[in-house]
A and B are shown apart, each in its own frame.
Chain A
Amino acid sequence: MTKICPSEEMIADYVEGRLSGSDRSETEAHLSDCETCLEGFLVVKSLLRDSDGVQLNPAPNHVTQAAVRLVQSQISLSNRPSVERLRVSIRRLYARVLDLLRPLLWGRMAFAPIRGSKIVVSNGLVHLRKIFREIETEIEVEKTTKGKAHIRVRLSEASKYKKGVRVSLKKGERVISSYLIDREYVLFEDIPFEHYAFDFSKDGVKLGTYFFEIKESHHGRK
């Protein structure tokens, strides 16, 4: 089986009948062997079939606006050399998909969606603001030594709850450490660059999960 999956463009070309010769037969050979690509191909195909004559469901204005802001924040990020040092990529979606998934799999209640994040970056320091259901948190990631960082978490002034909020740093399902945020801030020291999640809860009730990754981004963008 052809191990490398065809590019999005190759799939689009195949779906819309622009491939011939070896490109076409190679794509067909791959699709017949790769469940992942076949699935994507079939969805795209059905999407095209449905789009004929069917009114497109327009994206709500605020959704488009949010995407514009997000994309423009990426531009200003990539224009700032200091960001090269350290970067936290937020995977807000993971939390959302998990919300989608949990009720399906275990019949549990969906968690509150996480909204609003603001990134202020200085040299080697990333500052984030996350708003969960009733709490507003500020998370600061500071690179300490090579491949490690301190993470500070605090409740911001606007937060409804000031006491009794617990934050747990998790890697996969494993809890690395867990603290009540009763002081000015909670400090997680020398955390190796990796994928993590913060679980926020109050009195045992989960308020939200924040998935993130700390990673070094290298100089010399491609």
Chain B
Amino acid sequence: MNPSLEEDRRLLSKCITGDRNASEILVRRFSNLVYHSVQHTLVEKNISFTPQDLEDLHNTIFLQLFEHGCRKLKQYRGKNGCSLASWIRVVAVRVVLNHIRKKGMDAIAWQMKRTPLEDLSKLIGEEMDPLTLMQNEEQDRLVENGIQSLPPRDRLFIRLYFDQGTPIEDVAETMQISVPNAYTIKHRAVRKLKSYVSSMSK
């Protein structure tokens, strides 16, 4: 095993037994990472914030890791070689997003960013008369059902590429596939969707 992974585990088990020194080491080691993750998440979601907000969220994340007898920390396994840092990063992002979501702040950012499958409907609708006759809502619903019938990888591709508007190169990188492969998935998914939509709208 990777020596730093082993060290992560040793530090973690000390924290779980209530070792004060180990806990301080853990906080100091990951303080910058957590702080940066909080800041990045807020920026990414277009949320305005103050240094006090960063501090509060930073502390909340550490509190959540250690509260209830380290209930959260105990979830870390490192099974596939996941480092404590990688794990804490995801925990931090989730905590921030949850708090944003609970307070409905996100609705604003979300609505501004999203173009809900409109482009896709258009793309499929090209050369397709039945679709152009349909109401937009109906179209979207049909497309949404069509998406559900696709295999997982194609579905995720569609979410990222059409729904989130991520450039295809980034989608490829995100899904750990080659760019040509991403194009293949795109064409395949659109073709399948077209045939799904035409079969349903007959």
List the interface of chain A (C-beta within 8 A of B): 7-9, 11-13, 15-19, 25-26, 28-29, 31-33, 36, 38-40, 42-48, 50-51, 56-60, 63-64, 66-68, 70-72, 74-75, 78-79, 89, 92-94, 96-101, 103-105, 113, 217, 221-222
Contacts and interface: CB of A to CB of B under 8 A. Distances in A.
Contacts of A15: 86, 90
Contacts of B138: none
Contacts of A59: 31-32, 34-36, 58
B135 interface: no
Contact of B82 (A16, A51, A96): A16
Given A40-B97, A46-B40, A47-B40, A63 B31 contact: yes
Interface in B39-86: 39-41, 44-45, 47-49, 51-60, 62-63, 65-71, 75-82, 86
Nearest to B35: A59
21 contacts: A8-B90, A9-B76, A9-B78, A9-B80, A9-B87, A17-B176, A18-B80, A18-B81, A36-B101, A40-B90, A43-B45, A46-B44, A48-B89, A64-B27, A70-B63, A71-B24, A71-B62, A97-B105, A104-B108, A113-B56, A217-B68
A19 B108 contact: no
Contact of A56 (B24, B32, B52, B174): B32
Nearest to B79: A9
User: Which of under 10, 10 to 19, 20 to 34, or 35 or more describes the interface residues of B?
Assistant: 35 or more
A57 B36 CA distance: 6
A27 to B, nearest CB: 9
Interface of B: 18, 20, 23-24, 26-28, 31-37, 39-41, 44-45, 47-49, 51-60, 62-63, 65-71, 75-82, 86-87, 89-91, 93-94, 97, 99-105, 108, 147, 152-153, 155-156, 158-160, 164, 166, 174-176
A96 to B, nearest CB: 4
Determine chain B's interface SS by DSSP, over half rule.
helix
Contacts of A40: 90, 93-94, 97
Contacts of A12: 82, 86-87, 89-90
A63 B54 contact: yes
Given A74-B67, A98-B103, A63 B55 contact: yes
Given A42-B164, A59-B32, A74-B63, 6 more contacts: A38-B164, A39-B97, A43-B41, A60-B55, A99-B53, A217-B68
Contacts of B103: 94, 97-98, 100-101
Contacts of A71: 23-24, 26-27, 62-63, 65-66
A47 B94 contact: no
Contacts of B62: 67, 70-71
